Amino acid sequence: MDIIIGALPPVQFPPSKPREENSSGMVEARLLHSRPPRKGIAGPSGMERRGKKSTDPHRARVLTIMVPDATTLPPDLDEGKYAVYLRFVRK
């Protein structure tokens, strides 16, 4: 039996890298999930159950992607001023 008195060392976070300017615009991401478009969901009364009436295009696919290094993203991404283009490369 070992008796150890003390505490575990604190968790070290990786050092933060300075934001690099991405002149090519290419950001690597990982595809997490793909699903078909939403369909209308009618409740028992025949009314739409979701509060906001939203429909996806008929032939759409909804993709969930993850960018492992968020420092490669533009800082003003939340403003919605960007178009996103995808290129799929098989592993």
Sorted by where each begins, the domain ranges of the chain are 25-91
Name beta bridge partners: 70: none
Is the overall model pTM greater than 0.85, yes or no? no
Give Cα separations from 30 to 2, 68, 86 (angstroms).
44, 8, 11
Backbone angles phi, psi at 78, to 5 degrees: -70, -15
Which strand (E) or helix (H) includes residue 12? none
One digit per residue, the tens of pLDDT, for the chain of length 91 reads: 666 677 777 777 777 666 666 667 788 899 999 998 877 666 666 665 556 666 778 888 999 999 998 888 888 888 888 888 988 888 8
Give Cα separations from 32 to 73, 81, 89 (angstroms).
18, 24, 15
Of the candidates 62, 44, 40, 36, the residue with the CA atom closest to the CA atom of residue 53: 40
